[in-house]
Amino acid sequence: MAQSLLEQLRELTVVVADTGDIQAIEQFTPRDATTNPSLITAAAQMPQYHGIVDETLLTAKQEAGADASDKEVANLAFKRLAVAFGLKILAIIPGRVSTEVDARLSYDTEGTLATARDLIAQYEAAGMSRDRILIKIAATWEGIKAAEILEKEGIHCNLTLLFGLHQAIACAEAGVTLISPFVGRILDWHKKETGKDYAPTEDPGVLSVTEIYNYYKKFGYQTEVMGASFRNIGEICELAGCDLLTISPKLLAQLKDQEETLERKLDPAKAADMDIDKITLDKATFDQMHQDDRMASEKLDEGIKGFSKALESLEQLLADRLVQLGEGESLANHATQDLFAAYDLDGDGLITREEWMGTDAVFDALDLDHDGKVTKEELSCGLGGACTLAV
């Protein structure tokens, strides 16, 4: 009997679900899963998760004290909600869940350390081993230095918003557990810059991850490579053999439905025989390489702003819900208008992928007609029904 692409991929690569939707995770049974504010924002508005949201908000309000503002309670609730969803996911999957540090702390080593330790303490208080948690941190120099300290404390890290070899090398030298290079966003930048379309074999994002993978395997680094942010299954197939790949439910469904033969493209044995120069990296070299790589510097900055904005939207939604809890209103009553206004930067009545700047899995789920733009109607539908994340 012929195997699907997804079945074949699982024989070569660990498949990770890029979603906060527990139902989607149950359907595709990945080993690991990852979440972030934009995923949680989408999931938090699904009726089946209202109980989690409300319970977390009320607990946060009690913890914050009577004098805390709705905004302060919402900020605390976000951290608690990330753990609450993480615990639900860990009850389903056999592996690890990635939980994200506030993106607004991306250049704050001490702030990142404090938040990461707090998240781990919450998981452990709930009886979950830290070995099943990956703390997700932006791959700035400051974030990488925080991850280096955390790894020595037995707190494992997933470095995200990674677009360049210099970021990857710094992570490996710091002993980071895992990195998440963003394939699709690299492709987006090059398409916008050149006006060209790229076949999967020439895709700049695929080539970037391939270079990082080969560098790691050549020099024996233990840091795992997890390709992320895919635009199509062609990119995924070109990275078959990568340590891990985190894939949205939409693309998981496409892989599950196709039965053509999948060829292994990345192989540690082949990488070991390659002629690759080793790069010695200190902060000055990192800064210079980052400055010279316009794509990496622009996409890192854009990504931090996008994840920060997603978090601010989630905090506003939680603050609104805190008020609604006292008034008996539905969670989603005001969410569509507020979120659409936050992301429709030019006010043209459409949200493009560039304006969204949050998680690609959520954008793909909301973009019901797959035209690269989200209308208010699609957002409204997504917040209620299509937020099963297109599965």
Known catalytic residues are 136
Q: Cα(35)–Cα(361) distance, rounded to whole angstroms?
A: 10
Please measure the distance between the N-terminal and C-terminal CA atoms of the chain and give it in whole angstroms: 24
Considering only CA atoms, which of 10, 7, 11, 30 is closest in space to residue 19? 30
Q: Which helix (H) or strand (E) holds 100?
A: strand 97-100
User: Residue 308 CA to chain centroid, in angstroms?
Assistant: 13
Q: Cα(289)–Cα(297) distance, rounded to whole angstroms?
A: 9
The count of other CB atoms within 10 Å of the CB of residue 72 is 16
Distances (CA, A) of 380 to 23, 45, 46, 49, 333: 20, 10, 11, 17, 10
Q: Which helix (H) or strand (E) holds 22?
A: helix 22-28
Quote the strand ranges of 102-194, DSSP E.
Answer: 133-138, 157-162, 178-181
